[in-house]
Amino acid sequence: MAKEYISARQAVWLSTVMVASTALLFLPTLVAQHARQDSWLAILLFTPLGGLYLAGTIGYLAGRHPGESLVPLSETLLTKPGGKITGLLLLVWLVFSAGLLTREFTTFVVGTFLQQTPSFLISLSLTLLVVYGVLSGLEVIARSNDLILPAALFIIFLLLLLAIPDMDPQRLRPFLAGGWRPVIAGGFAEMAFMGEFILFFILLPFLRYPREIGRALTMSTFLLTGLGTWVMFAVIMVFGGKQAGILIFDFFSLARTVALAEFIERLDPLIMIIWVPTVFVKTSLFLLAGSVTGAQTLGLKAYRSLVIPLAVIQLLIAEFAFQNQRHVVEFISQTWTVWTYLLVFPLPLLLIAFSWLRGRNK
């Protein structure tokens, strides 16, 4: 199906942006609601737990069944009807996630910068941009991301460095005051974001050397662990665990507190500079994965015929499925997280089990 290819390095960068783009804004709140001042520990422990699990299982399946991505492999191992059901379930998850991403973007832009702008116009603008990117192909998205990620990392590190004067290490105490249960609860919310790695199993035909996907996702896991832990440290040391769990956009609020010398303040527009292109990349990946999944499930030769119909559904979900920004956060922490754990995380292990059974029977 795929004639355009990306390298393993581009897969590392794409998977890093995919998870980090929304996690940096929403995840500190979701984790701090449970783990408070120990939120950094939840990030440090559960990011590699989820990431390495998926990197290992996806990498194993890519090596054991070369050339087969998620839906075709499901049809091979789970029988054709089982593969079709798997594909349909994934398609629903992918399209709804793309709609959720569009609403997250709209919620942030309208809530922080363009309060008087109709939300539909913001959602429509992102959707049109994403459709153009997906129709252009993954190779174009990856090349764009080659420029986006270094700039985004530079701005993130700059904001973290400028926030150092406002950090108080005493806000990290007391350590494990509530025991391990809050940390595990916060880690549970965090690890769901790593389930997004499953997209690269779907997009495996686009990788020039598919056997390298496990290594690429492993490298991305360590990058995300370091970045997420550092951001969580900064948020807790600036706001404290209790306040971090109340704020909706913690990292954006952190950017508002920093100042460069005494004459440059309110650096929060820098968040918008990195938020728009990184969310474009992430939403494009979800729409592309949904189009590929739909095409494989329905037996279509080309995925591009599904891009516009799925984009329309994505836009309708963004506009009508959520009431306000608090509802978006609650949906992520409750419905989407449970959905991801029930569908995404068991699937690679299920395929490995059936692969072993078929091997033994042969």
Choose which CATH entry (3.40.50.300, 1.20.1740.10, 1.10.286.10, 3.40.605.10) describes domain 8-347. 1.20.1740.10
Instruction: Please report, in angstroms and rounded to a whole number, the separation of the first and last CA atoms in the chain.
Output: 29
Tokens 């998850």: give the residue.
Answer: 93
**Domain limits of the chain?**
8-347
The answer for 322, left when phi > 0, alpha when psi is -120 to 50, beta otherwise, is: beta
Report CA 5 to chain centroid distance, whole Å. 21
80 class by beta-carbon count within 10 Å (0-12 exposed, 13-18 middle, 19+ buried): exposed
Q: Distance between CA atoms of 169 and 175, rounded to whole angstroms?
A: 12
Average pLDDT over residues 169-198: 91
Whether 26 shows a pLDDT value over 90: the answer reads no
Instruction: Please determine, for residue 1, whether its predicted confidence score (pLDDT) is greater than 60.
Output: no
Q: What is the pLDDT, as a whole number, of residue 59?
A: 95
- Please say whether the beta carbons of 177 and 31 come within 8 A: no
Residue 276 CA from chain centroid, whole number:
14
Report which of 37, 329, 340 is spatially closest to residue 167, judged by C-alpha positions.
37
The pLDDT-based confidence of 263 (bands split at 50, 70, 90) is: low
Cα–Cα distance, 146 to 347 (Å, whole number):
30
φ, ψ for residue 259, nearest 5 deg: -145, 145
pLDDT at 246: 84
Report whether 33 contacts 324 (CB < 8 A): no
pLDDT tens, position by position, 208-221: 999 999 999 999 99
Q: From 63, 55, 61, select the one nearest 77 (Cα to Cα).
A: 61
**Residue 179, number of CB atoms within 10 A of its CB:** 9
* Over residues 171-191, mean pLDDT: 89
CB atoms within 10 A of CB 48: 18
The answer to whether the CB of 152 falls within 8 A of the CB of 277 is: yes
For the record, the structure tokens of 126 come out as 């992102």
Contact 278, 271 (CB under 8 A): no
pLDDT at 2 exceeding the cut of 60: no
**8 A C-beta contact, residue 166 and residue 257:** yes
Asked whether the predicted pLDDT for residue 244 surpasses 90, the reply is no
Element of type H or E holding 264: strand 264-265
61-84 residue pLDDT tens: 999 998 889 999 999 999 899 999
pLDDT band at residue 261 using 50, 70 and 90 as cut-offs: low
**pLDDT tops 80 at residue 155:** yes
**Structure confidence by residue, pLDDT tens digits, 90-120:** 999 999 999 999 998 898 888 777 778 888 9
| Rg of the chain over all Cα atoms, to the nearest angstrom | 20
pLDDT tens-digit readout, 284-328: 999 999 999 999 999 998 899 999 999 999 999 998 888 777 788
Amino acid 162: pLDDT: 86
Q: Are 40 and 235 in contact (CB under 8 A)?
A: no
27 is written with which tokens?
């995840």
Pick the range with the lowest mean pLDDT from 18-27, 121-130, 132-141, 255-264: 255-264
Cβ(242)–Cβ(178) under 8 Å?
Answer: no
Max CA separation in the chain (angstroms) = 73
pTM for this predicted structure: 0.93
